[in-house]
A and B are shown apart, each in its own frame.
Chain A
Amino acid sequence: MSSYTAATEQDIVEMLAKIGCDSIEDLFAAIPEGVRFDSRLDLPEGKPEQEVYAELRELSARNTSADDEVTFLGAGMYDHYVPSLIDALTSRAEFLTPYTPYQPEVSQGGLQVMFEYQTAISELTGLPVSNASLYEGPSAVGSAAYLAKLVNGRSRHLVSRGVHPHSRATLETLAVGNGTTVEEIPLKDGVTDIEALQAMLGDDVGAVILQQPNFLGSVEDIEQLTAVAKAHGALVIASCDPIPLGILQPPGEQGVDVVVGEGQTLGNRLDYGGPSFGFFAVAQEHIRKMPGRIAGETTDADGRRGWVLTLQTREQHIRREKATSNICTAQALNALAGVVYLAWLGRRGLVELGELLVRRTDFARSQLLALDGVTALHEQPVVREFAIQLDVPVAAVIERCQAEGVNPGFELGREYPEYSNGLLVALTERRGRADIDLLVEVLSSAITAERASRTAVVA
């Protein structure tokens, strides 16, 4: 058994004497007999560090990670390169081990990071106010819908079918509690159907929720959709992938009221889905309805510049049942990785990365569409991800590709029955020309082999 405690037998004797107690057991006398646990928890024996390491290493080796295959799997999380300085900075004890900065005099490092992070998110989204992070993407979408309810009280929320399925599911879960109904705006040609949106809108619609780029990889015409939604007084929420925001017009400049999103692509690992962070930015008028921590600049007693958690009267520990959200612990360390990553990319690097993705994605898309048995699922502009259709079952093709060490992407039929033959292919800067060529070759062979096996069965 490993133990991280320090009390010696002698310490325990002295401490009990000071307390005036005969045994440690006596300290638990307040626990009624009926609710004491007198047996031993059914858990394996504790082990020394090296054995725990070996066990965990063995478990992790049973996973096929992005180290083990050439992957084009995205659908909400992407295999970007995480620069080494992020590992170094996020593992510093000064960032890794403190609690939430309740004592600002000894938390200036963390608070300044939050302020810098908020500035970077504000720049990306084109909105003036960012909080210091939420849990992750889909729950941030849920929090944005809750803000809409607080702001206008209207009970119908419209969400595009192009919004990530997990975000839509989270909206449904939370709607039960906040008394809203969630209705889906259909897709047409790979983007949100603006005419359908028009027909669904009314004075009872509190929020219209979009995604940029949408789940199929399409760049949505956010400006037009927003104009239509706002004509009916609905709040517009856009869930965005932050990397494309380096080259796309900022949603805040397109009239969007709340911009949220999954922050994983900003310097965070895949980690089988978390921890990452959610970002959340709003127009100035909604600042006092924001969920989560916000760092603000101020001065100390001697006039020095410093930062504090501000507008805390929105928060649960002050306002309790009248709080704008229940959130407390969020994802400060992951947001630190986010702002370090953005500083590392820098003003020009973010644009260069975005343009690199656009060109490689376009190339990969055109190469795949040239294959026999592959057609476009839509023809919309894309940044880093695109959808194609296969003329053979997608799951079987993925299986064949993975056997060859290539993960070709996400089987759309898992979430969209109407695209049962769809494959969603994602690029990052880690997938170079050779990887794309390999994907084309392996996918082509897999389709051919799958066709042959089907013909054989029919014959």
Chain B
Amino acid sequence: MSQTPQQLDHAVTIFEKSKSGRRAFTPPAAEVPDRPITELIPERMLRVSPAKLPEVSEPEIVRHYTRISKRNFDLDSGFYPLGSCTMKHNPRLHERVAALPGNSRLHPLQDERRAQGALELMWNLQHALGEVAGLPHVSLQPSAGSHGELAGVLLTRAYHEDRGDRRTKVLTPDTAHGTNPATVTMCGYEVVKVGTNPDGGVDLDDLREKADDQVACLMLTNPNTLGLFDTNIEEIAEIVHGVGATLYYDGANLNAVMGISRPGDMGFDIVHFNLHKSFTQPHGGGGPGAGPIAVSERIEPYLPRPQVVRLEGNGGEQPTFTLDDDRPKSIGRLRGFQGNYGVFVRSYAYIRSLGAEGLREASELAVLNANYLLARLSEKGVVEYLPVAYDRVCMHEFVLSGAPMKRDLGIRTLDLAKRLLDHGYHPPTVYFPLLVDEALLIEPTETETKETLDAFADAIAEILVEAANDPSVAQAAPYSTPVRRLDEAGAAKQPVVRQPL
């Protein structure tokens, strides 16, 4: 088989390109006395030999990283229906405003009176997120969804302990994101799993059985990771609150319900947002993100510090904004400074662009796109091999099972995913949620066109036809990518995690 130019281009690291004597950086003149360093710092505390960083010229650096960037698939180039990740368009306006010097060169410890624009922006964003959540109090500090979860469970703990109530368990559904149980452990609680009913929602009998006075919290995603809105949410809230526990909303799937249904109105006490999902912060190949939380009145005293607050002006004066550190019941700090402010700027720009109507429309069209794609994938030729796991109207994403495909065509979900790469698509999330055999979790988002969805559905149908003829094609896919299937087991057995130099 002929190889593509990228496949012929053997990967070389920046360290391997190093050549003694090359450089990019020119230091500014010191302009101060040239004292020997050993006079200023004791010699035994100094390095004996320099860190073996590469020696490369500026053009080489630019070419190196530009070349390897092209070995990435990215959202600007193609459809990215990665379930539970909300890969919606990243407007470039946001990069422009985040880069304004008043934002990008603002020191986090600048006197608050000289950072009023930043504090006002943060306060406005808090207000907007609180409105979307239907909960009045917001902390922007957590840096990602999992960090928001950590905040949420610590808030739960502080809330109970403040009332002299020491609890030991946190409930998570078996469909939950892995971050939920991992967070529970980090907060010193025991994880108790709750089952799923035949409709894809929380099994109420199981919940009732497990909800007792030792339960601190139920962590829930709604719509859940099956893409289904839990119709029993009011009853769930009643059961959880009935035993004195809190209800936590994992906001990974908020993109389905903005302006349509609010977690606070559903009975949730604590909500986290993923600004890198619903609110367009680019994912950056694995961050940065931000995971603000919104909470109810009873949780408010425990919010992280500092908190951005607005002070009303006296007699017609403008309000001012300040960082309130004096919060005696606060769980404390989760990180340095005020959070990922650059992310706040981008998400605030998004909210100002869309407004209330735009956010609601975004969710409506996200759900329309998902149901349309599901309908297209429920056509003859696909549905026999990739049935939907729960046959209901879905929200912003849905789960197919590749079990019949594996049985009848001999290709697994993994093979289908890899073959999609040859068609120029990023595959959906695979093998999650865990309770669906050979799962594919598909989230198209509202920013994709009908034509894109049609073409994607056609590509899947085509792969299935191909597999019926010859399953080995998909089994050995991909063929056109910069590298082909990689030996992950080998990588884990003998980890090579840095370049030997």
The answer to whether B75 touches A347, judged by C-beta atoms less than 8 angstroms apart, is no
Q: How far is B37's CA from A14's CA once the two chains are assembled, in angstroms?
A: 74
How many Å from the CB of B428 to the closest CB on chain A?
10
Q: Tell whether B307 is near chain A: CB-to-CB under 8 Å.
A: no
Within 8 A of B (CB), among A231-284: 245-250, 262, 269-275, 277
**Can you list 25 contacts pairing A with B, beta carbon distance less than 8 Å?**
A5-B362, A15-B371, A18-B375, A19-B375, A20-B375, A65-B103, A67-B105, A71-B107, A91-B95, A95-B69, A100-B287, A119-B15, A135-B335, A170-B333, A176-B158, A249-B47, A250-B51, A272-B337, A272-B341, A297-B497, A300-B487, A316-B146, A320-B181, A344-B24, A432-B28
Within 8 A of A (CB), among B263-301: 265-267, 274, 276, 282-290
A359 and B114 contact, Cβ closer than 8 Å, known pairs A130-B498, A310-B497? no
| Residues of chain A with a CB closer than 8 A to B105's CB | 65-67, 79, 269-270
How many Å from the CB of B407 to the closest CB on chain A?
24
The answer to whether B355 touches A45, judged by C-beta atoms less than 8 angstroms apart, is yes
Q: How far is B98's CA from A262's CA once the two chains are assembled, in angstroms?
A: 21
The answer to whether B285 touches A347, judged by C-beta atoms less than 8 angstroms apart, is no
Q: How far is B424's CA from A40's CA once the two chains are assembled, in angstroms?
A: 39
Interface size class of B (residues with CB under 8 A): 35 or more
Q: How far is B191's CA from A345's CA once the two chains are assembled, in angstroms?
A: 47
Bitwise interface map of B from 31 to 60 toward A, beta carbon under 8 Å scored 1, else 0: 111110100111011111011111110100
A60 and B97 contact, Cβ closer than 8 Å, known pairs A246-B50, A312-B492? yes
A166 and B333 contact, Cβ closer than 8 Å, known pairs A31-B229, A316-B179? yes
Q: A31-B229, A138-B335, A381-B45 are known; give 14 further A-B pairs, CB within 8 A.
A: A1-B358, A18-B372, A46-B352, A96-B76, A97-B284, A105-B418, A246-B51, A272-B107, A272-B341, A274-B336, A310-B488, A346-B54, A362-B32, A383-B41
How many Å from the CB of B205 to the closest CB on chain A?
19
How many Å from the CB of B271 to the closest CB on chain A?
14
Q: Tell whether A30 is near chain B: CB-to-CB under 8 Å.
A: yes
Q: Tell whether A199 is near chain B: CB-to-CB under 8 Å.
A: no
In the complex, the chain A residue whose C-beta lies closest to that of B76 is A93
Which of A202-210, A288-296, A368-376, A448-456 contacts its partner?
A288-296
Q: How far is B115's CA from A407's CA once the two chains are assembled, in angstroms?
A: 14
In the complex, the chain B residue whose C-beta lies closest to that of A287 is B495
How many Å from the CB of A428 to the closest CB on chain B?
10
Q: Tell whether A22 is near chain B: CB-to-CB under 8 Å.
A: no
Q: Tell whether A343 is near chain B: CB-to-CB under 8 Å.
A: yes
SS class, residues of chain B in contact with chain A: loop
Which single member of A3, A116, A332 contacts B361 (CB below 8 Å)? A3
Within 8 A of B (CB), among A153-209: 164, 166-167, 169-170, 172-174, 176-179
Which single member of B66, B120, B289 contacts A329 (CB below 8 Å)? B289
The answer to whether A46 touches B353, judged by C-beta atoms less than 8 angstroms apart, is yes
| Residues of chain B with a CB closer than 8 A to A300's CB | 483-487
Bitwise interface map of B from 49 to 86 toward A, beta carbon under 8 Å scored 1, else 0: 01111111010011011101111111111001010010
A332 and B286 contact, Cβ closer than 8 Å, known pairs A18-B372, A270-B106? yes
In the complex, the chain B residue whose C-beta lies closest to that of A437 is B31
Which of B149-157, B239-247, B381-389, B463-471 contacts its partner?
B149-157
Q: Tell whether B310 is near chain A: CB-to-CB under 8 Å.
A: no
The answer to whether B285 touches A98, judged by C-beta atoms less than 8 angstroms apart, is yes
A-B contact count (CB 8 A): 732
A109 and B71 contact, Cβ closer than 8 Å, known pairs A21-B393, A272-B337? yes
The answer to whether B150 touches A89, judged by C-beta atoms less than 8 angstroms apart, is no
How many Å from the CB of A48 to the closest CB on chain B?
8
Q: How far is B107's CA from A275's CA once the two chains are assembled, in angstroms?
A: 12
Within 8 A of B (CB), among A311-370: 311-313, 315-323, 325-334, 336, 339-340, 342-353, 355-356, 358-360, 362-363
Q: Tell whether B342 is near chain A: CB-to-CB under 8 Å.
A: yes
| Residues of chain B with a CB closer than 8 A to A304's CB | 7, 10-11, 483-484
Q: Tell whether B329 is near chain A: CB-to-CB under 8 Å.
A: no
Q: Tell whether B458 is near chain A: CB-to-CB under 8 Å.
A: no
How many Å from the CB of B184 to the closest CB on chain A?
6
The answer to whether A112 touches B71, judged by C-beta atoms less than 8 angstroms apart, is yes
